[in-house]
A and B are shown apart, each in its own frame.
Chain A
Amino acid sequence: MLVFLAQRLFAALITIWIATIAVTLLIHLVPGDPVRIMFGGFQTTEAELEAIRTRLGLDQPIWRQYLMFLGRLAEGDLGRSIVGNQPVLDILLERLPATLALTLASLAVAIVVGMGLGFLAAVKRGTWIDSTAMILAIVGVSMPHFWLGLLLLFLFSVTLGWLPVAGGDWRSLILPALTLGLATAAVLARMTRSAMIDVLDQDFVRTARAKGLPGTLVLSRHVLRSGLVPISAMLGMQFAYLMGGAIVVENVFAWNGLGRLAIQAVLARDYPLIQGFILFFATIVALASVVIDLLYAVLDPRIRYAK
């Protein structure tokens, strides 16, 4: 168990480490002169551009830049945004709570709706409940986040007027969380159904029934517990997709989180901010997957009791 945990933490560190290399390389892969691209729009002289290059360390050999980057990173310095000239870390931290609120609320929606629907469909396999749930799920999987968002916006804000179109309070969280949550729920419902059906077809379910246990006990004790194992294994990736989806959804609802920031940064070619965002994103996803792997280990004795 401890070995497993150490292994997962190590993997997370590797992910973050590779992300640091990737963001350092990023700026060097830009065709042409990144400084000119970033500042070309402003009134700048050649000398000023040279000064910026020195300040960003772009005149140094690349390995040197990487070491400098790591050194600053250790001090919590991710550089300064080109557009606002604020420290990148401050900007990211300021936007983080909004994104976390959105992803966690969506995750809750996804788990309740998705896993519930999937479990129901698996248990009622072959009935109209199953078909309906699975039609909903495939439509949901095919639905672009941004269109679903616009449809919900049109329905609840424009037509019914129940919820605000934009804003910052909790009421304006409902629609984005619903959008992202339902889209993920569709994926989760399909995964849950197939995982549960795999379990229902297992010999041990027949053993439990042969023991004469009531159906509900077979489902709750033997089937659900066993089915949660493969599902929790897939949850880590789902969280990453949720974070990715948040980038789009935040832009639909003008929700001021990291995703909105990222798009603005790419459009403005604000490289320090883009670098910071990618690093930040990779770190959150890596840490979340450690947490989810822990959950997985708790559910599966084969891992908990591995030598």
Chain B
Amino acid sequence: MITGTQDLARDLANAGVVRQRGFWRGLLASPSGVIGLALVGVLIITAALAPLIAPYNPLQMAAGPRLAPPSLAHPMGTDQFGRDVLSRVVHGARLTLLVGTVAVSLSLVAGLALGLLAGYAGGWLERIFMRLVDVLFSFTEIVIALACLAILGVGLTNAMIAIGIAAIPFYARITHSVVLVEKSKPYFEAGIAAGAGHMRLIFLHLLPNVVPTLIVVATLGISTAVLAAAGLSFLGLGAQPPQPEWGFMLASSRDLISRAPWMMIFPGLAIALTVLGFNLLGDGIREAMDPRQRRRQ
């Protein structure tokens, strides 16, 4: 979970994300932003060029000796089937990025629709809706994901859907708070005063002002989804053999931890660096946006 994401969303909404140029300059001026962008960039390039970068087929058994420590031929060593760990980590980037973006897109679209509707409608609909979201929120995403997997059955696709569903309350809540910020801005009342109808208010006035903030939040949310997917695979509920999924690779390393620690170190490092990249990017955006920082000048 990214801390204070709701605050960030509110700040973004308050600032209006209008000053695009200043925003990018601010992002590139912050060390967190630059490192974050670089890490995310490396992840995307790795995923895109995986077959070119990986020295072996990630599924090919006996590409080398079993449980071989890192060497020139196998920079990250090999696993218990003699598969090249580096190749598996590189191909894992594809699965990670896929799971992250699909899950986040699912929760973003659903959360956006629900949050927008509740925030616009107001009244009892909003109250009931927000109460429900709060309750689901307190179940925590992992329990909701477990419930979904209990319904759907295990597997990487189902894990992806489960993570997407589990995060809907989060995005609905963020959308709702951003909608409230936008609704409280006089331009919204100016729209009503001008005689605008529901459709015009929602789609011309609210939506274009809500979406940019949500896209930023969703980008940062990919890290949570990546972490969750790796976690579920680690627990045996996500990726199944022989998929080169980082969390699953970690799970199979547990029993070999004393004999082949490299099987544990490199996939874990890949997950941590990916998540770190998105988190740093989030910090960079926060620094570039923080209205409090601006006010102080």
Q: Kindly list chain B residues whose C-beta atoms are within 8 Å of the C-beta of A191.
A: 3-4
> Given A18-B132, A150-B253 in contact, is the A26-B147 Cβ separation under 8 Å?
yes
Complex Cα–Cα for A116 and B254 (A) = 32
Q: How far is the CA of A29 from the CA of B247 in the complex (A)?
A: 28
Chain B residues whose C-beta falls within 8 Å of the C-beta of A240 in the assembled complex: 138-140
A241: contacting residue among B1, B131, B253, B273, CB under 8 A? B1
Known: A248-B234, A281-B139. A190 touches B257 (CB 8 A): no
Which one of A240, A243, A285 has the greatest number of beta carbons of chain B within 10 Å?
A240
CB distance from B65 to the nearest CB of A (A): 22
Nearest-CB residue, chain B, relative to A240: B140
The stretch that binds A, out of B86-94, B102-110, B210-218, B274-282, is B274-282
Give the interface SS of chain B, mostly helix, strand, loop or mixed.
helix
Counting CB contacts under 8 A, is B235 at the interface?
yes
A144 touches B264 (CB 8 A): no
A56 contacts B by Cβ under 8 Å: no
| B142 interface contact, C-beta 8 A | yes
- Say yes or no for A269: interface residue by CB 8 A criterion: yes
Q: What CA separation (Å) do A62 and B110 show in the bound complex?
A: 27
Partner of A158, one of B135, B139, B258: B258
Q: Are B135 and A15 closer than 8 Å at their CB atoms?
A: yes
How many inter-chain contacts with C-beta < 8 Å in the A-B complex?
A: 143
Top 6 nearest A-B pairs (CB, nearest first) are: A147-B268, A142-B276, A244-B140, A244-B142, A142-B275, A158-B258
Contacting residues, chain A, for B140 (C-beta < 8 A): 240-241, 243-244, 285
Q: Of the listed stretches A47-55, A95-103, A260-268, name the one at the interface; the rest are far from the partner chain.
A: A260-268
Q: Is the CB of B275 within 8 A of A29?
A: no
Hey, which chain A residues are within 8 Å of B230, CB to CB?
144, 146
Please tell me if the beta carbons of A143 and B272 are within 8 angstroms of each other in the complex.
Answer: yes
Are the C-beta atoms of B231 and A187 separated by less than 8 Å?
no
Instruction: Verify if B152 is at the interface (C-beta below 8 Å from A).
Output: yes
Known: A143-B272, A147-B250, A154-B264. A269 touches B150 (CB 8 A): yes
Interface size on B, residues (CB 8 A): 52
Is A107 in the interface zone, CB < 8 Å from B?
no
Report if A88 contacts B (CB, 8 A): no
CA distance A150 to B279 in the complex (A): 22
What chain B residues lie within 8 Å of A269 (beta carbons)? 150, 153
Flag whether B16 is at the interface (Cβ < 8 A). Answer: no
Cβ-defined contact, A26 with B151, below 8 A: yes
The CA-CA distance from A22 to B166 in the complex, in Å, is: 14
CB pair A142–B272 under 8 Å, yes or no, is yes
Q: How far is the CA of A303 from the CA of B279 in the complex (A)?
A: 34
- Docked-complex contact B150 and A244, CB < 8 angstroms: no
The reply to whether A141 and B3 form a contact with Cβ atoms under 8 Å apart is yes
Q: A147-B272, A278-B143, A282-B138 are in contact. Are A266 and B261 (CB under 8 A)?
A: no
28 A-B residue pairs with Cβ-Cβ distance under 8 Å, sorted by A, are A31-B151, A138-B32, A139-B272, A141-B2, A141-B275, A144-B227, A144-B230, A144-B231, A144-B271, A146-B250, A147-B272, A150-B253, A150-B254, A150-B257, A154-B258, A194-B4, A240-B138, A241-B140, A244-B141, A244-B142, A248-B235, A265-B150, A269-B153, A274-B147, A278-B147, A282-B139, A282-B143, A285-B139
Residues in chain B near residue A237, CB distance under 8 A: 137-138
Among A18, A190, A262, point to the contact of B135 (Cβ < 8 A). A18
Provide the residues of chain B in CB contact with A263, threshold 8 Å.
146, 235-237
Q: A138-B283, A154-B257 are contacts. A146–B234 as well, Cβ < 8 Å?
A: yes
B200, chain A: closest CB distance, angstroms: 35
| A interface, CB within 8 angstroms of B | 11, 14-15, 18-19, 22, 26, 29-31, 37, 138-139, 141-147, 150-151, 153-154, 158, 187, 190-191, 194, 201, 236-237, 240-241, 243-245, 247-248, 251-252, 262-263, 265-267, 269, 271, 274, 278, 281-282, 285-286, 289
Shortest C-beta distance, A186 to chain B (Å), equals 9
Q: Across the interface, name the chain B residue whose C-beta is closest to A146.
A: B234
Does B46 have its Cβ within 8 Å of any Cβ on chain A?
no
Q: Complex: how many Å from CA A150 to CA B256?
A: 11
Asked whether any CB of chain A lies closer than 8 Å to the CB of B149, the reply is yes
* Other-chain residue from A19, A146, A271 in contact with B139 (beta carbon distance below 8 A): A19
Judge whether B154 is part of the interface by a CB distance below 8 angstroms.
yes
Bound complex: CA of A248 vs CA of B2, how far in Å? 18
Q: Which residues does chain B contribute within 8 Å of A187, judged by CB atoms?
A: 1, 3
Among the interface residues B3, B223, B254, B276, which one has the most CB atoms of the partner chain A within 10 A?
Answer: B3
When chains A and B are docked, how far (Å) is the Cα of A249 from the Cα of B230? 13
Which chain A positions have C-beta within 8 A of B223?
Answer: 142
CA A14 to CA B136, docked complex, whole Å: 11
Distance A146 CA – B149 CA, assembled complex (angstroms): 20
Question: Which of A29, A144, A247, A286 makes the CB contact (< 8 A) with B272?
Answer: A144
Residues of A within 8 A of B139 (CB): 19, 240, 278, 281-282, 285
Chain A residue at smallest Cβ distance from B270: A147
CA distance A99 to B177 in the complex (A): 34
Within B95-128, which residues are at the interface with A (CB < 8 Å)? none
Contacting A14 at CB < 8 Å: which of B135, B152, B257? B135
Report whether B247 and A267 are in contact in the complex, using a CB–CB cutoff of 8 Å.
Answer: no
User: Across the interface, which residues of A come within 8 angstroms of B1, CB to CB?
Assistant: 187, 241
CB distance from B157 to the nearest CB of A (A): 13
Residues of B contacting A286 in the complex (Cβ-Cβ under 8 angstroms): 138
